[in-house]
Amino acid sequence: MKSLYTWANRFDKENLYDYYSTTIDKPLPYEKITRKRMLETIVAYYNINDHLFYALSAQEISLLKKIVENEEKILTDENKTLIIELSSKLLISFSYFAEEIYIYDEFYDAIKRAVEKMETVEGKKILELQQVCIGLCNAYGILTKEEFYDCIHRYLSSYTNEQIESIIKSSDYFRHRIAILEITYDNIPVTLFTYHDVEEVADFLDVYIDVLNLPKYEFNYSEIMEYAAYELNYKNDSLQRLLKRMREINSYFYEDQFLNLIQNVTNLLLDKNMIKKYIYNHYPHYERNADKFFELMDLCDEVGETLNTWAARGYPVSRMSDVLNGLQIDTMKKLERAYHYKTGLSPEEDFNSFLDFIESVTDEEVDEYLYDKEKKQLN
């Protein structure tokens, strides 16, 4: 058991103030507050009612529960991003080198309340809505207000727009995980729900605002949950092979920084050599590693082609030309999914049957197949 206050002077004041000022209502000016006073204010805030619950994701609360219960195998590569995030929220301290992780004394009671609320019906519903909203903004980068609500209803049909708006306003987690921007597009005022980094979004809008006219890729429910947790398609095969190789070379490399770079390069279609340069700068250069280095370069190219991008409204980079050429990919994808839900087969397994299906099925039947299947998945 350790107190947060004993480490007060070890926190960088500017970084601490950034978190304090975006978490607390009516923060004091930087020059008029000490590190300890900021910590005391954050501790007091999180210990009021359900404030901490509304500041965390379902994955973060679940991981905190494991830490409280002293479960083994918490300091894993899979948990690294969540652990770093919880540390940035001042709730835990950890060391992969010493294989040590603990919760600060000041937050134990608040964390236990958050865990209890997470396990209630109301808590589960709130966290699910929270994850869907954040996953959508991370996956698409920008959505008009109408698109945002329509997409939510595709995964969660039990909420009204008014209920969604109320929960968004009450949740501190949204302050850090989505942004709401008012812009003018084609001389019309437009409200956008966006990725949380407004500077990155502004860079994107400067170049790609016309993607609002393109059809959107239809992510499935599990993909949206993944975007909520990792901000990109973390389970992408090429990405996982690249991360595995990087860990083998240097187990202490900053995976969160690396993923942020990949996400930024992919969504804004920046130069892929930026990723290769990062690898080069972190790669131990000696002769027997040469083959692995060139393998990493090939994996970079694969990742760059197969990850989904904001610039194609969620489609993979490799399919951008299809989207820009106006092909009806969304329609075909819906037909493939409806056929799979009806028959249990993929089109490749029985192509003649698939052709018969798309010739005979109506739009209403397609929507019915998709709705019934996704409703069962959500229940």
Q: Which residue has the tokens 């608040």?
A: 110
Q: What is the DSSP letter of 107?
A: G
Q: Which residue has the tokens 């389970």?
A: 235
Q: Looking at the predicted structure, is the pLDDT value of residue 335 above 70?
A: yes
Find the angle CA(60)-CA(179)-CA(333) to the nearest 5 degrees: 80
Cβ–Cβ under 8 Å, residues 339 and 347: yes
> Which of the four pLDDT bands, split at 50, 70 and 90, describes residue 328?
very low
The string of pLDDT tens digits covering residues 145-181 is 999 999 999 999 888 888 888 888 777 777 778 999 9
Q: Which of 30-34, 283-287, 316-320 has the lowest mean pLDDT?
A: 283-287
pLDDT for residue 324: 59
Kindly state the average pLDDT of the residues 257-273.
Answer: 92
pLDDT at 219 exceeding the cut of 50: yes
pLDDT on residue 106: 94
Tokens of 247: 């860990």
Distance CA 58, CA 263 (A): 22
Q: What is the band of 329 on the pLDDT scale with cuts at 50, 70, 90?
A: very low
Average pLDDT over residues 103-128: 93
* pLDDT score for 373: 54
pLDDT at 109: 93
pLDDT at 370: 65
Q: How far apart are CA 281 and CA 266, in angstroms?
A: 20
At 109, list the tokens: 């009671």
Task: Report pLDDT for 265.
Answer: 94
Distance of CA 115 to the CA centre of its chain: 21
Q: Which residue has the higher pLDDT, 284 or 241?
A: 241
Confidence grade of residue 377 (pLDDT, cut at 50, 70, 90): very low
Residue 356 has pLDDT above 80, yes or no: no
Residue 29 in this model has a pLDDT that exceeds 60: yes
Tell me phi and psi for residue 75, to 5 degrees: -80, 65
Least confident of 91-105, 162-176, 209-223, 300-314: 162-176
Which pLDDT score is estimated for 360? 83
pLDDT band at 71 (very low <50, low <70, confident <90, very high): confident
Kind plus residue range of the DSSP H or E element containing 95: strand 92-95
Both tokens of 220, joined, read 């499935």
